[in-house]
Amino acid sequence: MLDSSGGISDPILTVDKVAKSFGGVQAVREVSLQVERGSIFSIIGPNGAGKTSLVNMISGFYKADQGSIKFDGTELIGRKPNGIAELGIARTFQNIALFRGLTVLDNLMLGRHVRMKSSVLSCFMYWGAAQKEEIHHRKRAEEIIDFLRISDLRRANTGELAYGLQKRVELGRALALDPTLLLLDEPMAGMNQEEKEDMVRYVLDVNAEFGTTIVLIEHDMGVVMDISDHIVVLDQGEKISDGTPEQVKADPAVIRAYLGASHLQE
């Protein structure tokens, strides 16, 4: 919902004039955006546009050179990734970041580590009072496994799964944090059409059933235009468009820089 100034009245995430350079390369150039609570917000642009660098700054893997990033009013710049996760921000990665030698269930249990008072090791080993906590967190992990329809794979080694299933487990690991804000970095990359359709359904269900706000980086324009409430377009580190899917599709700057006329045909 917009306020009288045209901004979002209750943004969950506010990025203000954020910049990041690596040596002489300016990856992100004073980008500003606001993400509405409960929305699906997509960031698109050609390779090297600065999309992942921006998400890395939001999640604490990169520190911004300037600007501000606020989550529910709390400044994120200067916080470490674990501290940002504790605030309720989870993410997936372009390249699958799972423990391939562990089971699906164990990967999700590790995803819950910031919610645990006892150490992860003591929970696994049933030491003392950790047993009760382990049972509680295991129940939540099992609920996510059921939600993602991978119940028959809970004891399978993650590294032995097909690529599309590994991407689903990666989503589950992020969901195990019970995030308020979920950052998805190309969750459908490398998938076939059936796997993409499954992932789209899960993204929509996470947003609708859990009320999770989603920030999505994705190259499949059909997916982006179909499921996004709002889209920001980056090109060479700069924001060149910001609006609804209909507004972005009609923006000449986007057509020139990224989509091309053929992609805009209905």
Provide the residue type at 176 as one letter. A
Predicted confidence at residue 24, as pLDDT, reads: 87
Q: Do residues 78 and 30 make contact, with C-beta atoms less than 8 angstroms apart?
A: no
Percent of the chain with pLDDT over 90: 67
**How many angstroms separate the CA atoms of 174 and 208, rounded?**
17
Residue 113 C-beta-side C-alpha neighbours within 13 Å: 12
**What is the mean pLDDT of the segment spanning 9-15?**
91
pTM for this prediction: 0.87
**How many angstroms separate the CA atoms of 252 and 163, rounded?**
37
Crossing angle of the two packed helices 104-111 and 163-175, in degrees rounded to 10: 30
**How many angstroms separate the CA atoms of 31 and 13, rounded?**
13
Residues in CB range of 228: below 8 A, 6 or more apart: 40, 41, 42, 216, 245
Provide the residue type at 136 as one letter. H
CATH class of the domain comprising 1-88+181-261: alpha beta
Residue 262 confidence class, pLDDT cut points 50, 70, 90: very low
Residue 116 predicted with pLDDT over 60: no
Cα dihedral: 231, 236, 237, 239 (round 10)? -40
**How many angstroms separate the CA atoms of 175 and 144, rounded?**
7
Average pLDDT, the chain: 87
DSSP for 18-33, written as a single string? EEEEETTEEEEEEEEE
**Helix (H/G/I), strand (E/B), else coil: 50:** coil
Q: Which two tokens stand for residue 227?
A: 């499921």
Residues of the chain with CATH 3.40.50.300: 1-88+181-261
Q: Do residues 48 and 236 make contact, with C-beta atoms less than 8 angstroms apart?
A: yes
Residue 2 predicted with pLDDT over 90: no
Provide the residue type at 152 as one letter. D
14-26 pLDDT, tens digit each: 999 999 999 889 9
DSSP3 helix / strand / coil % (the chain, rounded to 5): 40, 25, 35
Residue 240 predicted with pLDDT over 90: yes
Residue 117 predicted with pLDDT over 90: no
48-61 pLDDT, tens digit each: 899 999 999 999 99
Cα–Cα distances in Å, from 7 out to 3, 43, 55? 5, 18, 21
Cα–Cα distances in Å, from 200 out to 89, 216, 217? 20, 11, 13
Residue 46 confidence class, pLDDT cut points 50, 70, 90: confident
Predicted confidence at residue 112, as pLDDT, reads: 79
Residue 4 confidence class, pLDDT cut points 50, 70, 90: very low
Higher pLDDT, 208 or 260: 208
Predicted confidence at residue 118, as pLDDT, reads: 52
The residue behind tokens 């700057």 is: 253
Residue 265 confidence class, pLDDT cut points 50, 70, 90: very low
**What is the mean pLDDT of the segment spanning 165-175?**
93
Residue 105 confidence class, pLDDT cut points 50, 70, 90: very high
**What is the side-by-side order of every strand in the sheet holding 25-36?**
25-36, 11-22, 66-71, 74-75
DSSP single-letter state for residue 214: E
123-148 pLDDT, tens digit each: 555 555 556 667 777 888 999 999 99
Residue 266 predicted with pLDDT over 50: no
